[in-house]
Chains A and B, each alone.
Chain A
Amino acid sequence: MAALDAPRADPVVRCENVTKYFGAVRALRDVSLGLHGGEVACLVGENGAGKSTLVKILTGIHQPDTGKLWIDGQLQNHLTPQRARAAGVEAVFQDLALCNNLDAVANIVLGQEPLRFRLGPLRLVDRRESLAIATRIIDDIGVKLDNLTTPVRRLSGGQRQGVAIARAMVRGHKLLLFDEPTAALSLRQKLSTLDLIRRVAEQRVAVVMITHNLDDIFSIGDRVIVVRLGRVTMDERVPDVTQQDVITHMVGSPDARLA
């Protein structure tokens, strides 16, 4: 980890010696990482290497068997999905999980609606403020949307990705995890999504992107973390490595070549 020695701000999320077993299988062993605001960390590795387990630990879905996890300097003894979310950690999964019948604004603020007033269980949604929040986030990350008030069902794949990312930004202001965000997109949509992710990081959010695509790493990644057989086998700044280095660490053999 020599490349990360340079003096810098404290990590937004830090884990130390995290180990996770599933039955007798050790999915993660002694993983130690610090994730920094403003940085896009690409998490790569073969299927079953432990990428998903790591993401699920960071989002509170799984608890580590041993090891420690800090979010914003706070030691998290028993991180649940609710606590992770409350702490500002959010994941954008491949299926996006949007409500297709609602418009972009409603989707972006869903569950976090600004209120005009509350009367018992009746809480009046502040629609003007909702629009302002959605517009601000969309502007911050530069999502291109033709119409904020049309059901998101009618938006293109790339625009829907933008809505999902904007929604995650409302909640996940510390750490945003992307699970193969470019897998199901056309070339043009892929480029604009990578642009979006870059701009999310520019909002001082720590970004972790799981990807199978080495091009993604070299186009927007600041840092590449390779996981193999549950261990972090490489954690370097992107400019310091070549594609060949990444592949070698992924498959564990110096003989592997680009296909």
Chain B
Amino acid sequence: MSMHQERSPAADGEVSRFGNLKTLARTAVQKHVRNLSLLIAVVVAVTIVSAERPTYLSYSNFLVVGLQMSFVAIAALGMTALIISGYIDLSIGSMFGLAAVVSAILARDGWPAVLAILAAIALTGAIGFLNGLLVWRISISPIIITLGSLTLIRGVVYLLTHGFAITGVPDSFGGFGQAKPLGVPMPVAIFVILAPVTAFILNRTTIGRYIFAIGGNREASQALGLPVRRLVLATFAVNGLLVGLAATLASSRYVGADPNFGVGMELDVITAVILGGVAFSGGEGGIAGVVLAVLLLGVINSGIISMGIDPFYANVIKGAVLIIAVAVDQLVHEQRERYQRSMAMRDAREEELGLA
């Protein structure tokens, strides 16, 4: 490209502005490659399972699988936003246990169901906010700080319950989690509403735009005057609220809670989020991929049981899928870097020839 061409941008017209078709197509494929492969994986998995068990592919079974995954799925919405912003909260498993146990204890002790549930959700919202405050104030990896919260909160759960399940909760407490609006279990219905809302906020509003910006370059976002601190704290708090919502749906559904509720849940949630194409380093990803990843994990869980395979294989497969997904991602990324370097080298050579 010679200088005089660069000086006359009008000559390039609209084509270069929006990229030629080939570039556009490449960008579109790159953008959606993860979602497409997840979709294919879901279809393949469902096909395999239903070839073996023809009854697997049915609406009622879909709702069963959906219900199993709904708690992880709801928590994954908040975690998606948090990881995109470049942060993480590992303590969600313990927060889940705490909100479940606290709501059950309050309901057992005579609180109206609505208040018991709202109080537990508010509690995890506050804990999320506090985690955010700690992470913001103490500039150490959020992994380490929230690892502390994970252990600490689980300890509180055991102290509250002395290690025993909370029983003797009045049946009225089950009204929330057991409800079936339009025949859809409440946890699934709530996820079906919240997922597009979250996607809308992340993709269309300034809040979402700034969450991506913070994950991409926090210093620059601050220098531009974006409300970085406020947004990070709010994302931590909303993450806590969503975990509390998922937890109280569970405690209400089972009309009681076990102190082991949510143990290891943070790993399921983070697996879904990363498998869904959210970059662990922040700034990349979206809700659609995470929904597909949750679906894939649900099909793997339930499919293995349907096919009568030892359920312990589920973890083996899920772990392998995650490793394959990130490995392929990394290889594609390296390939792209190499391509870009070669293009830059070509430009440099052309420049030497053209201007020497």
Known contacts A142-B9, A145-B16; A101/B212 CB under 8 A = yes
CB atoms of B217 and A146 under 8 A apart = no
Write out the residue numbers on chain B whose beta carbons fall within 8 Å of the beta carbon of A156: 344, 347
Is A1 on the interface with B (CB-CB < 8 A)? no
Known contacts A101-B212, A142-B9, A150-B27; A122/B207 CB under 8 A = yes
CA distance A146 to B204 in the complex (A): 24
CB atoms of B205 and A123 under 8 A apart = yes
Is B224 on the interface with A (CB-CB < 8 A)? yes
- Greatest chain B CB density within 10 A among A102, A110, A149, A191 is at A110
- Greatest chain B CB density within 10 A among A98, A123, A188 is at A188
CB atoms of A111 and B205 under 8 A apart = no
Known contacts A100-B216, A122-B207, A139-B9; A147/B19 CB under 8 A = yes
CB atoms of B216 and A147 under 8 A apart = no
Is B284 on the interface with A (CB-CB < 8 A)? yes
Write out the residue numbers on chain A whose beta carbons fall within 8 Å of the beta carbon of B221: 99, 110
Q: Please name 18 further chain A to chain B contacts, defined as beta carbons within 8 Å, in addition to the given A99-B212, A101-B212, A101-B217, sorted by A numbering.
A: A98-B217, A100-B283, A102-B213, A106-B213, A111-B224, A122-B205, A125-B204, A125-B206, A143-B9, A145-B16, A146-B19, A147-B18, A149-B19, A154-B340, A187-B351, A188-B1, A188-B354, A188-B355
A147 to B, closest residue via Cβ: B19
CB atoms of B206 and A113 under 8 A apart = yes
CA distance A148 to B14 in the complex (A): 11
Is A51 on the interface with B (CB-CB < 8 A)? no
Among residues 309 to 356 in chain B, which have CB atoms less than 8 Å away from a CB atom of chain A? 340, 344, 347-348, 351, 354-355
Among residues 120 to 151 in chain A, which have CB atoms less than 8 Å away from a CB atom of chain B? 121-125, 127, 135, 138-139, 142-150
Known contacts A125-B209, A144-B9; A101/B284 CB under 8 A = yes
Among residues 5 to 22 in chain B, which have CB atoms less than 8 Å away from a CB atom of chain A? 6-7, 9, 12, 16-19
A-B contact pairs, 10 of them (CB 8 A): A97-B220, A100-B283, A101-B217, A111-B225, A111-B226, A122-B205, A125-B206, A139-B9, A147-B18, A148-B19
CA distance A149 to B28 in the complex (A): 10
Among residues 272 to 307 in chain B, which have CB atoms less than 8 Å away from a CB atom of chain A? 283-284
| Interface of B toward A, CB cutoff 8 Å | 1, 3, 6-7, 9, 12, 16-19, 23-24, 27, 201, 204-207, 209, 212-213, 215-217, 219-221, 223-226, 283-284, 340, 344, 347-348, 351, 354-355
Write out the residue numbers on chain B whose beta carbons fall within 8 Å of the beta carbon of A195: 6-7
Is A242 on the interface with B (CB-CB < 8 A)? no
B209 to A, closest residue via Cβ: A125
CB atoms of A191 and B3 under 8 A apart = yes
CB atoms of A110 and B226 under 8 A apart = yes
Write out the residue numbers on chain B whose beta carbons fall within 8 Å of the beta carbon of A187: 351, 355
| Chain A interface residue bracket vs B | 35 or more
A141 to B, closest residue via Cβ: B9
Nearest CB on A from B230, distance (A): 10
Nearest CB on A from B31, distance (A): 9
Write out the residue numbers on chain A whose beta carbons fall within 8 Å of the beta carbon of B17: 135, 138, 145, 148
CA distance A105 to B207 in the complex (A): 17
Among residues 172 to 231 in chain A, which have CB atoms less than 8 Å away from a CB atom of chain B? 186-188, 191-192, 195
CA distance A106 to B213 in the complex (A): 9
CA distance A157 to B204 in the complex (A): 29
